[in-house]
Amino acid sequence: MQNPDIEMFPNAPVGWSVNAALSSAKDLGFELTDDHWEVIAALQEYYSKREVVNRRELVDALNEKFHIKGGTRYLYYLFPGGPVAQGSIVAGLEVPSGSVDKSFGSVV
């Protein structure tokens, strides 16, 4: 899936594109892999099912979804500046309040 198609992201926000994600990731200092695209799709799906996103619930949901791959450790490997903060930016989503905390390594 190195060159994903927009149809692979049915829950993408209006105006989001694969090229926008690639550009955002580059600005944040990393290249997107198949694993990143999987997290992006998961974030977009999560956001599409909620009117208000609670950061703690989102962290728990991501940890559960990607538990088999290593959970939070795996997500920080992919998004070293914070999987919720950086993942949301790349996915074209609003970063939930409280997601950027420099003392915990979540920086954008």
Q: Report domain extents, the chain.
A: 11-104
pLDDT, residue 101, reads 61
The tens digit of pLDDT for each residue in 32-81 reads 999 999 999 999 999 999 998 999 999 999 999 999 999 999 999 999 99
pLDDT value of residue 19: 95
Report pLDDT for 13: 95
pTM of the model: 0.88
Q: CA 108 to CA 101: how far, in whole Å?
A: 9
Q: Model confidence at 4, in pLDDT bands (50, 70, 90)?
A: confident
- 55-65 and 34-48 are packed helices; what angle lies between their axes, rounded to 10 degrees? 130
> Which residue type is seen at 8?
M
